[in-house]
């Protein structure tokens, strides 16, 4: 390429709705300003949306380096339009995992990346598709990112990941609280304290975090058990409540007597709703959803064969998303692991079996190994954490297991995470934001939220 010098004036570039421009007021545009810098690359003569498209295809570290090339690249990477383009493409480039660790009073997050497409992931399995097998060979493509978050004197629970933002629950005395962070940008915010109306409350170890595409709002829902004591007879009274918070607001909204969640889900966000398995013994109330826009609960019909008698045979059940469809995973009679998919959302008759695993064929697989699935890929591959604290992949098409990586004894929770450049400044405003720098290069840094 022949480099040529050019003096470029940064102009306001209108971006069509089809290109997904940044909505500010009633106009869509990319923020630019005048510059007298001399830029030496014909790349900068391209339309800005094409430059954004090119940059969005680069690996994460290369994008971070591009921010240091010139002021224009820095402004483009910071612009909400670029974050939207990059987020739409990110899941096809890498698979990222975030691991939660609690040691004593310290909480930490560790990040891993898997630089393979989902189709390539399946091709890593054994070529023998007729005989089930367990391949105990690690893959070098799964590597630990040289960046960690540490939280001083605060144990944490990883609530969920949405559009590159992580929601965390901090078990801090005397009042626990929630926080939101974008680890790539090094931004974090402490949310307002929950409003407690009872002398004693217990965190129900279940929360949800998601995004309403219609209202363009991020919301958190927190479940708590409240205990009150009757002063007349000293009898304890317990009830479940849910509190909802919208990022950018300064308060929580109370919902009384919500459906009681049973287990956390590994990928429960779909169609603007969060989904959970409940504690109900009634099949019709087994799956519940929470509409983030309307802030209403509703039930989702389970598969037709889920009768009371059949549910008594199910020792474990979880819910997730597979190829943009709601799915449930469960173990029946401690020998059969099944995955069912709801092809048409909300339609009971659209449930169909995706695949099943007869665990008698896999000598190294135990029932408890499948209790912690973390991701279902569009090609059907299932990732889960085994009892030996290893990341394992199962390919139903090739009927093979593969041990991807040992996660170490410190791991307590794992979730899939899409790295993004969405700034909390654009979500909640800069006035309430605490910004911390992400240190790349193997060093650990501490966040004192």
SS3 sequence of 171-206? ECCCCCEEEEEECCCCEEEECCCCCCCCCEEEEEEE
How far apart, in whole angstroms, are the C-alpha atoms of residue 158 and residue 108?
Answer: 10
Q: Is 130 a residue whose pLDDT tops 50? A: no
Which two structure tokens, joined as six digits, stand for 389?
A: 């604290």
Q: How confident is the model at residue 11 (pLDDT cuts 50, 70, 90)?
A: very low
Q: How confident is the model at residue 132 (pLDDT cuts 50, 70, 90)?
A: very low
Q: Is 213 a residue whose pLDDT tops 80? A: yes
> Lowest-confidence range among 18-32, 140-154, 435-449?
18-32
Mean pLDDT estimate for the chain: 73
Which two structure tokens, joined as six digits, stand for 40?
A: 């030496």
How far apart, in whole angstroms, are the C-alpha atoms of residue 238 and residue 253?
Answer: 19
- Considering just the CA atoms, what is the radius of gyration of the chain in Å? 24
Q: Is 445 a residue whose pLDDT tops 50? A: no
Buried b (16+ CB within 10 A) or exposed e, 63-100: beebbeebebbebbbbbbbbbbbbbeebbebbbbbbbb
CA 85, chain centre distance (Å): 18
Which residues, including other chains, have CB under 8 Å from residue 45's CB and lie 6 or more apart?
A: 6, 8
How far apart, in whole angstroms, are the C-alpha atoms of residue 23 and residue 288?
Answer: 33
Q: Is 292 a residue whose pLDDT tops 90? A: yes
Of 410, 363, 418, 361, whose CA–CA distance to 385 is shortest?
Answer: 410
Q: Is 119 a residue whose pLDDT tops 60? A: no
Q: What is the pLDDT of residue 218?
A: 95
Q: Is 23 a residue whose pLDDT tops 50? A: no
Please compute the mean of the pLDDT values over residues 85-95 and round it to a whole number.
76
- Per cent of the chain over pLDDT 90 is 19
Q: Is 352 a residue whose pLDDT tops 60? A: yes
Q: Considering only the top CATH level, what class is 94-435?
A: mainly beta
Q: How confident is the model at residue 2 (pLDDT cuts 50, 70, 90)?
A: very low
Query: In what order do the strands lie in the sheet containing 177-182?
Result: 155-162, 165-171, 177-182, 187-190, 434-435
Q: How confident is the model at residue 94 (pLDDT cuts 50, 70, 90)?
A: low
Q: What is the DSSP letter of 380?
A: S
Q: What is the pLDDT of residue 220?
A: 95
Q: What is the pLDDT of residue 326?
A: 92
Largest CA distance in the chain: 87
* Under 8 Å between Cβ of 110 and 98: yes
CA 238, chain centre distance (Å): 31
> Lowest-confidence range among 166-180, 363-377, 413-427?
363-377
Which helix (H) or strand (E) is 401 found in, with range? strand 400-406
Q: Is 70 a residue whose pLDDT tops 80? A: yes
Please compute the mean of the pLDDT values over residues 162-171 and round it to a whole number.
87
Strand partners, 444: 148
> Lowest-confidence range among 28-32, 142-146, 222-226?
28-32
Q: Is 330 a residue whose pLDDT tops 50? A: yes
Which stretches of 174-295 are assigned E, i.e. beta strand?
A: 177-182, 187-190, 200-212, 217-229, 236-246, 253-256, 261-263, 269-270, 273-278, 287-291
Q: How confident is the model at residue 404 (pLDDT cuts 50, 70, 90)?
A: confident
> Lowest-confidence range among 145-149, 216-220, 351-355, 441-445?
441-445
Q: How confident is the model at residue 165 (pLDDT cuts 50, 70, 90)?
A: very high
Please compute the mean of the pLDDT values over residues 115-125 and round it to a whole number.
42
Q: Is 27 a residue whose pLDDT tops 70? A: no
Q: Beta strand 142-151 with 444-447: parallel, antiparallel or unpaired? A: parallel
How far apart, in whole angstroms, are the C-alpha atoms of residue 283 and residue 266?
Answer: 21
Q: Is 228 a residue whose pLDDT tops 80? A: no
Q: How confident is the model at residue 433 (pLDDT cuts 50, 70, 90)?
A: low
Query: In what order do the strands lie in the sheet containing 400-406?
Result: 133-135, 400-406, 390-395, 382-385, 373-376
Query: In what order do the strands lie in the sheet containing 413-416?
Result: 413-416, 95-103, 106-114, 142-151, 444-447
Give, to the nearest 10 degrees, the angle between helix 80-93 and helix 48-56: 30
Which two structure tokens, joined as six digits, stand for 349?
A: 């008759």
How far apart, in whole angstroms, are the C-alpha atoms of residue 114 and residue 106?
Answer: 27
* Under 8 Å between Cβ of 389 and 411: yes
Which two structure tokens, joined as six digits, stand for 145?
A: 């990112």
Please compute the mean of the pLDDT values over residues 169-187 and round it to a whole number.
81
Q: What is the DSSP letter of 330?
A: E
Please compute the mean of the pLDDT values over residues 80-91 and round it to a whole number.
86
Place of tokens 């993004």: 420
Q: What is the pLDDT of residue 240?
A: 85
Q: What is the pLDDT of residue 310?
A: 94
Which residues, including other chains, have CB under 8 Å from residue 177's CB and lie 6 or more apart?
A: 169, 170, 190, 191, 193, 194
Q: What is the pLDDT of residue 272?
A: 92
| pTM, rounded to two decimals | 0.77
Q: Is 171 a residue whose pLDDT tops 90? A: no
Strand partners, 237: 228
Q: What is the pLDDT of residue 353?
A: 94
Q: Where in the chain is the domain with CATH 2.120.10.80?
A: 94-435
């Amino acid at each position: 390429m022949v480099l040529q010098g050019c003096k470029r004036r940064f102009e306001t570039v209108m971006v069509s709705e089809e290109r997904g421009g940044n909505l500010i007021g009633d106009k869509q545009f990319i923020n630019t300003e005048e510059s007298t810098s001399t830029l030496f690359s014909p790349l900068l003569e391209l339309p800005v949306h094409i430059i954004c498209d090119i940059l969005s295809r680069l690996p994460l570290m290369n994008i971070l380096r591009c921010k240091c090339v010139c002021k224009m690249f820095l402004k483009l990477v910071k612009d909400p339009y670029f974050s939207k383009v990059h987020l739409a493409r990110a899941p096809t480039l890498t698979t990222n995992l975030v691991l939660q660790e609690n040691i004593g009073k310290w909480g930490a997050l560790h990040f891993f990346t898997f630089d393979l497409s989902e189709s390539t992931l399946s091709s890593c399995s054994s070529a023998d598709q007729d005989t089930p097998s367990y391949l105990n060979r690690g893959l070098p493509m799964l590597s630990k990112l040289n960046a960690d978050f540490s939280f001083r004197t605060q144990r944490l629970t990883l609530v969920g990941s949405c559009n590159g933002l992580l929601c965390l629950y901090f078990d801090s005395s005397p009042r626990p609280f929630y926080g939101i962070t974008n680890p790539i940008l090094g931004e974090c915010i402490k949310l307002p304290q929950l409003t407690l109306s009872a002398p004693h409350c217990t965190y129900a170890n279940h929360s949800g975090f998601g995004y309403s595409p219609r209202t363009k709002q991020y919301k958190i829902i927190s479940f708590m058990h409240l205990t009150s004591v009757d002063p007349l007879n000293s009898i304890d009274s317990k009830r479940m409540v849910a509190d909802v918070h919208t990022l950018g607001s300064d308060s929580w909204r109370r919902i009384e007597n919500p459906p009681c969640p049973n287990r956390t889900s590994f990928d429960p966000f779909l169609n603007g709703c969060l989904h959970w398995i409940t504690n109900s013994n009634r099949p019709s109330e087994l799956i519940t959803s929470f509409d983030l826009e309307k802030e209403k609960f509703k039930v989702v019909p389970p598969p037709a064969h889920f009768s009371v008698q059949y549910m008594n045979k199910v020792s474990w059940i979880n819910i997730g998303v597979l190829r943009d469809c709601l799915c449930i995973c469960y173990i029946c009679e401690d020998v059969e692991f099944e995955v069912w998919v709801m092809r048409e959302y909300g339609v009971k008759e659209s449930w169909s079996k995706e695949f099943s695993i007869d665990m008698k064929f896999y000598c190294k697989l135990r029932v408890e190994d499948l209790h912690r699935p973390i991701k279902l890929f569009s090609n059907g591959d299932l990732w889960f954490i085994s009892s030996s604290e290893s990341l394992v992949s199962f390919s139903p098409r090739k009927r093979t297991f593969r041990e991807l990586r040992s996660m170490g004894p410190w791991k307590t929770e794992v979730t899939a995470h899409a790295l993004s450049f969405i700034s909390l400044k654009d979500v909640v405003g800069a006035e309430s934001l605490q910004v911390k720098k992400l240190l790349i290069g193997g060093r650990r840094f501490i966040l004192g939220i």
